[in-house]
Chains A and B, each alone.
Chain A
Amino acid sequence: MWEILSDNWLLLLVGQWPHGPVGGLVATVGLAIVSLLLAFPLGIMLALGRISAHKIFFWPATAVVYVVRGLPLIMFIFWVYFFLPLLIGNSVSGVVTMVAALALYEGAYLAEIIRSGIEALPRGQMEAGRSLGLSHMRTMRKIILPQALYNTIPSMLSQFISTVKETSLGYVISVHELTFAAAQINNMLLTKPFQVFALLALTYFTLNLILTGVVKLVEKHMGSGQAVTAA
């Protein structure tokens, strides 16, 4: 197993780069970061829709969240992969497909996290902003969201961890990420699937163990700093 690692660590880390697209672990982390960055504003918008008193915002946002949460991610990957090209008339690369599907999927989950953060704040915060004469949107932006987003950082980081794992589904549409690299190695070696996939599991596990540690640290730090917890 260690031999496999020492022979192939570069492929597992960066794929065929610099002779091809960046792959491997770097692509996995990159996919997770980019899609979560895109999912973040989407999540905020969906969350605001979910708590909106206006039906034209509430219903579409709620529909998106329910549909996304009710279907497996791989469905979205297939949908984007097969139907987006028909819609826009261009072929779409696997990476773009994966980012789009993940952003939508994670956006819906982030929306629920952010919504819970907003709803956990005392109602008086909104009332205090409004009674100063701030509009609803301004109160949201200056008072509610800064607190809600800060308070939900640990949950959002946890979502990042599951996003890292979900990037492995990119394998089915040949996105060059970590699982794809492992499969390539397996195809070369042919006789050592157990060792190769054990190595793959270990890599994901170690990465997420580190990330979980980061979440723990952040939680601890937030718990000790009382400046920004809701009164």
Chain B
Amino acid sequence: MIEFKNVSKWYGEYLALDNVNARVEKGEVLVVCGPSGSGKSTLIRTINRLEPIQKGQIIVDGVDVYQCGSIDEMRSHIGFVFQQFNLFPHMTVLENLMMAPVLLKRMSKHDAREHGMALLERVGMGHKADVYPTQLSGGQQQRVAIARALALKPRIMLFDEPTSALDPEMVNEVLMVMKSLAADGMTMVCVTHEMNFAREVADTVWFMDAGRIVETAPPKQFFETPQTDRAKKFLSDLRH
């Protein structure tokens, strides 16, 4: 469970998050959407403390992320998927997946390899285990990145615009993987513009504008009867 309590963040003078109060339940699939600059990426990055906040608290499974003893321990329970994949280019696909379990969980190389292969199979990338990330397409890289984020068996997965850097024909393969994760009951926070994904998979949609969550609703309700003018305009812009 993730809870935001009076969270505010500034970049210098600029207010990026404006007193956010919200919660995400265990097993919930949340889609965060909104116009660019609305603070959605900032919001998701605060959950594992990639961005410092100046006010408020973020509680993940009962622990305050900004006060906890070991942020590294905390982060190992939270998977993060980046827009730019950020695979490690000097390691093979399988080594990308093996590193964290070997270093952080003292898993033997042999076990880490099997564990990594199982994850690669799960995202349909088992046949590319031994190649380097730069030899993969964007969609393939992102699937590997998801597998890597799963390698430590996180309780929560965060997706920061996972399909925005992809060519259109590769979006689907990534969304399929995300859908299968959602079907397994993973707690997921997804910043995305894929409204079909939101419609099909999300339990809840947050619509953000100017650093605030201005609408919280189940997807059906959000898409059919948005409450605010800002959300109505956003949705109509998306359709055109």
* Chain A positions 212-231 with a Cβ under 8 Å from a chain B Cβ: 226-231
Across the interface, which residues of B come within 8 angstroms of A227, CB to CB? 89-90, 132, 134-135
Contact B90 A132 (CB under 8 A): no
Q: Is B4 an interface residue (CB 8 A)?
A: no
User: Bound complex: CA of A28 vs CA of B70, how far in Å?
Assistant: 50
* Chain B positions 65-95 with a Cβ under 8 Å from a chain A Cβ: 72-78, 80, 82, 84-90
User: Bound complex: CA of A133 vs CA of B74, how far in Å?
Assistant: 7
Residues of A within 8 A of B (CB-CB), count: 24
Contact B50 A131 (CB under 8 A): yes
Across the interface, which residues of A come within 8 angstroms of B77, CB to CB? 133
Nearest A residue (CB) for B74: A133
Contact A133 B104 (CB under 8 A): yes
Residue of B74, B90, B104, B141 touching A134 (CB-CB under 8 A): B104
Contact A132 B89 (CB under 8 A): no
Residues of B within 8 A of A (CB-CB), count: 31
Contact B84 A124 (CB under 8 A): yes
User: Bound complex: CA of A21 vs CA of B35, how far in Å?
Assistant: 73
Contact B152 A131 (CB under 8 A): no
* Chain A positions 103-155 with a Cβ under 8 Å from a chain B Cβ: 122, 124-125, 127-135, 138, 142-143, 146-147, 150
Across the interface, which residues of B come within 8 angstroms of A143, CB to CB? 88, 90
Contact B88 A131 (CB under 8 A): no
Nearest B residue (CB) for A225: B132
Contact A131 B134 (CB under 8 A): no
Known contacts A142-B99, A142-B103, A229-B134, A131 near B78 by CB under 8 Å: yes
Contact A133 B80 (CB under 8 A): no
User: Bound complex: CA of A230 vs CA of B89, how far in Å?
Assistant: 6
Query: B136 to chain A: closest CB distance in Å?
Result: 10
Q: Is B48 an interface residue (CB 8 A)?
A: yes
User: Bound complex: CA of A138 vs CA of B82, how far in Å?
Assistant: 20
Nearest B residue (CB) for A133: B76
Query: B74 to chain A: closest CB distance in Å?
Result: 8
User: Bound complex: CA of A150 vs CA of B72, how far in Å?
Assistant: 27
Query: A26 to chain B: closest CB distance in Å?
Result: 35
Q: Is B133 an interface residue (CB 8 A)?
A: yes
Across the interface, which residues of A come within 8 angstroms of B75, CB to CB? 130-133
Query: B170 to chain A: closest CB distance in Å?
Result: 15
Q: Is B125 an interface residue (CB 8 A)?
A: no
Nearest A residue (CB) for B75: A133
Across the interface, which residues of B come within 8 angstroms of A147, CB to CB? 88-90
Contact A146 B86 (CB under 8 A): no
Contact B103 A228 (CB under 8 A): no
Further contacts, 12 of them, CB under 8 A, given A146-B90, A231-B86:
A124-B82, A125-B88, A128-B88, A131-B75, A131-B78, A132-B99, A134-B100, A134-B103, A227-B135, A228-B89, A229-B89, A231-B133
Chain B contact residues, CB within 8 Å of chain A: 48, 50, 72-78, 80, 82, 84-90, 99-100, 103-104, 132-135, 141, 148-149, 151-152
Top 3 A-B pairs, shortest CB-CB distance:
A133-B76, A128-B86, A124-B86
Chosen A-B contacts, 17 in total, with CB atoms closer than 8 Å, are A122-B84, A124-B82, A124-B86, A128-B86, A129-B88, A130-B75, A132-B99, A133-B75, A133-B152, A134-B72, A147-B90, A227-B132, A231-B84, A231-B85, A231-B86, A231-B89, A231-B133
